[in-house]
Amino acid sequence: MTIEELKESGAIIFECIGGSRAYGLQTPTSDTDIRGVFILPKEKFYSLDYIGQINNETNDIAYYELRKFIELCAKNNPNILEMLNVPEDCILYKHPLFDEIKKKYFLSKLCKNTFANYAFTQIKKARGLNKKIVNPVDKERKDIEDFCMILEGKKSIPLKEYVTKNSLETQFCGLAKIPNMKNCFNLFYNESLKYQGIARENANEVCTSSIPKEEEPIAMLYCNLEGYSSYCKKYKEYWSWVAKRNDERYKNNISHDKNYDAKNMMHTFRLLHIAEDIAKNNNITVRVSPSEREYLFKIKNAMFEYDDLVKEAEEIRDQLEALYEVSALPEKPNLSLVNELLVDIRNKFYNQV
């Protein structure tokens, strides 16, 4: 089922604007995130064709089937719980049945961990950007031969340097494993024999050749296979990130010269503050106050050092431990009541259509 088919089906019971526009943290270039809840038509729900979520490729638009939505609420998922208290001006459509899904059924001490843990994943994401900025990977991809070294006297030199210095052609090289020496090979050279060379194009390891007994090796070669494997993983991750990154956001981050993703850090503190509000007031405040907005934008504009922000976030997390210890919130949602709610809403929806 596509988003267009879902909209035409009449199955949507709730639709709202989420993300930065709901939080009150939007800028002129902010995307508009759409979130919603739908109830599968009866024949699909009872068939093998159950669909739990429908979203677009970028996940800017996402709709959750009632069962999955309730299940995520019961797990105190931060993004999903926020949908129960979005500002009125962000609600695009609400079926009367959706009003029966109240946050009192779900808020529990689980929020201490779900919100805080999610917040700290944002810190890791921010740190991840730091690593990518500081350690870019060249676009020209290395090959397995770049991870081969030749033992020359008491030192090692790169294979490519060795063959250049000795005017050798790699296609006339042959390798034979050295027993009991991991990733070590005897290197042979003969222009008249059909050796396999060092490695085939885009190969993940060097190739060995059939070597006549009378042939003598000219050197010993070591291939750092683990290093090459690690490099390939980093190369793929880096250039995949480059392809998918929001260039405007990236340029904004590196222009601050703080080398971390300031937007991720901003959301860290937003989430921690919501967790605090839940513990103190049994409430989810989605839209931030003007004073908090000002503070969060200072974080987004990288006006603080990364280490100072991490220290402050850790202090807030420690405070949450104390707040939730004395909170009147239940340890976890009453799943029996939640299940009754789910069944009741679904039956009412099916009986009215």
pLDDT in tens, 168-191: 999 999 999 999 999 999 999 999
The closest alpha carbon to 122, from 335, 317, 325, belongs to: 317
Q: For the domain with range 1-106+333-353, which CATH number is right: 2.60.120, 3.30.460, 3.30.420, 1.10.260?
A: 3.30.460
Count of other CB atoms within 10 angstroms of residue 211: 17
pLDDT of 29 above 60: yes
CATH 3.30.460 domain position(s) in the chain: 1-106+333-353
**Region 194-223: what's the mean pLDDT?**
93
**Between 100 and 57, whose confidence is greater?**
100
What is the C-alpha to C-alpha distance for residues 200 and 308, in angstroms, rounded to an integer? 50
Of 8-12, 131-135, 156-160, least confident by mean pLDDT is: 131-135
CB 174 within 8 A of CB 188: yes
**CA dihedral defined by 134, 137, 139, 143, rounded to 10 degrees?**
160
- Neighbouring CB atoms inside 10 A of 52's CB total 13
Poorest-confidence range of 103-107, 298-302, 347-351?
Answer: 298-302
Q: Which of 248, 273, 272 is nearest to 261 (CA)?
A: 248
More confident residue, 303 or 177: 177
Indicate the pLDDT class of residue 203, thresholds 50, 70 and 90: confident
**Burial (0-12, 13-18, 19+ Cβ within 10 Å), 250:** middle
pLDDT per residue as tens digits for the range 216-258? 999 999 999 999 999 999 898 888 877 766 555 555 554 455 6
Q: Band of the pLDDT at 209, cuts 50, 70, 90?
A: very high
**Tokens 């638009």, residue?**
61
Average pLDDT over residues 200-224: 94
Which has the closest alpha carbon to 287: 19, 24, 20, 82? Answer: 24
What is the biggest distance separating any 2 CA atoms in the chain, rounded to whole angstroms?
89
Contacts of 7-12 with C-beta under 8 Å, sequence gap 24+, read 9/38, 9/41, 10/353, 11/38, 11/39, 11/40, 11/41, 12/36, 12/37, 12/38, 12/63, 12/93, 12/95
| 33 closest CA partner among 50, 56, 11, 14 | 56
Pairing relationship of beta strands 155-158 and 33-38 according to DSSP bridges: unpaired
Strand order in the sheet with 33-38: 53-55, 61-65, 33-38, 12-18, 91-94
Q: What is the mean pLDDT of the chain?
A: 89
Taking the complete model, does pTM exceed 0.85, yes or no?
no
Judged by DSSP in three states, 12 sits in strand
Helix or strand run (H / E) with residue 155: strand 155-158
Q: From the CA atom positions of the chain, what is the Rg in Å?
A: 29
For residue 225, give the 3-state DSSP assignment: helix
Asked if 178 and 220 touch (Cβ cutoff 8 Å), the reply is: yes
